[in-house]
Structure 1
Amino acid sequence: MVLLRNIAFSIVFWGLSVPIVATAPISALFGRRAIVRHATAWTLVHRWAVRHLLGIRVKVEGVQPTTPVFYAAKHQSMWETLELQCRLGGPAMVLKRELANIPVWGWSARCYGAIVVDREAAGAAMRGMMREAEAARLEGRSILIFPEGTRVAPGEQPPLKPGFAGLYRILAMPTVPIATDIGLLWPRRGLKRPGVVTLRFGDVIPPGLPRRVAEAAIHAGMNALER
């Protein structure tokens, strides 16, 4: 049954994703609001397929802010990158340059308002990332980053990448850590399994804290579900 669920998910979600993603540049021509709605439609398809085909349900803990904030989330699978897009109301996401360089799709992501980060960036490139983040804040958008820098397996707690501290300082926004245990059901390799995934919103971290204090609080909040 688990195998059949995975096959059904792949056929339905990826089959629908091809035309949705392929037509994203058309929406992008009509401005930011249109491409954000387009992206949200795609993530809602993903949400439906995850719930009804894979049998994965979501339990939310903590309080989700109702005003724009800086979110720092755990990254264990593809699931949270799409689920958080619609759950957080279309935040500006910090995106690896490799993804932003994908022809057509990368252009659409930039139109969406993605904040592009280069892991090997020199000072000028990092300043460009800061400007993009500041522009998103001035638009009244929340900003989402996966500050450990890469997808990790359950139990892994790598240190935060340096770019997080820079954004925390420049944006001066309340920051909220998000923890998830989706990796227990959605492994990097192997079949996705039905069950309940927890998405936990941590306590709000105020702006202006010393770097080590802010990073420690965010890291703890992001890893609150780690065993």
Structure 2
Amino acid sequence: MAWLRTIVFAGIFYAGSLIFVLAASAAGVFSHTGLMHVAEGWSLFHRWCVTRLLGITIRIEGKRPEGQAFYVLRHESFFEAIDLPTFLPRYPVPFAKIELIRIPLWGELAARYGVVPVDRSRGAAALRDMKRAADIVKPTGRDFALFPEGTRVDVGTSPRMQSGLYGIYRLLNLPMVPVAVDSGRLYHQMPKRRGTITYRIGEAIPPGLDRIEVENRVRDAINALNANYRADDQPG
């Protein structure tokens, strides 16, 4: 049954995604707001496919703070990347590595949506570029989001934070909210499994703290669900 659910999910989600890409291409020409609505619709469609076709339940522990914030999330699978506009309903602005922005069509749409590119090879110059891009978006009240490990991480591991995390935290000057996600054991499997994916929202970290404290608090919070992982855990 797991294989059947996975095949049905893939067929419906990817076919539907093609329609959303075409809609986003058209919307992006005429309306930035329309493009954001399409992106949110794609994320909601993905959430529907995950819950209804894969049989995965989404659980949220904790509460998002009031007002604009900078969210940093653990990244175990593509689930949380696609689910981001559903989890954070104010059209969140992700920071993403520059290679993703260079993907034909997708990268152009992402840039129009407001994705802030991160070019680690440019050091301090990259931070200045990110600050200019973030300063344009920040007055709109949209939240910002980042996967601080820089790439997908394996279930049960606790990799180090990328060096750019603290620089982005300083340039945004917003409360930083760490979020643990345990999607890997269900969604990043072949076939995909039934079960519950949990978001655990940690305590907001105020602006202005020193680097060591910030990185330690983020690492502890985004890995908070690792204790729930068992190597012999076999979801349905």
Pairing of 1:81-100 with structure 2 (within 5 A): 81-89=81-89, 90-100=91-101
For structure 2, the 5+ residue unaligned runs are 228-236
Whole-Å separation in 2 of the counterparts to 1:66 and 1:108: 29
Is the counterpart of residue 70 in structure 1 residue 70 in structure 2? yes
Which residue matches 1:22?
Answer: 22
Q: CA deviation at 1:87?
A: 1.9
SS in 2 for 1:148: coil
SS in 1 for 2:179: strand
Q: CA deviation at 1:120?
A: 1.8
Matched-pair contact (CA < 8 Å) for 1:134–1:170: no
Moved over 3 A (4+): none
Q: Match of 1:106, as an amino acid?
A: G
Whole-Å separation in 2 of the counterparts to 1:75 and 1:133: 22
Deviations 1:184-225 (A, max 9, x none): 1122x5211000111111001100001111111111111111
Q: CA deviation at 1:23?
A: 2.8
Which residue matches 2:59?
Answer: 59
Give the TM-score taking structure 2 as reference length.
Answer: 0.92
Q: Match of 1:225, as an amino acid?
A: L
For structure 1, the 5+ residue unaligned runs are none
Whole-Å separation in 1 of the counterparts to 2:83 and 2:142: 17
Percent identity over paired residues: 40
Is the counterpart of residue 184 in structure 1 residue 185 in structure 2? yes
Q: Match of 2:67, as an amino acid?
A: T
Which residue matches 1:158?
Answer: 159
Q: CA deviation at 1:34?
A: 1.5
Give the TM-score taking structure 1 as reference length.
Answer: 0.95
Whole-Å separation in 2 of the counterparts to 1:39 and 1:49: 15
Deviations 1:75-98 (A, max 9, x none): 000100111222202100111111
Q: CA RMSD in A?
A: 1.2
Q: CA deviation at 1:22?
A: 2.7
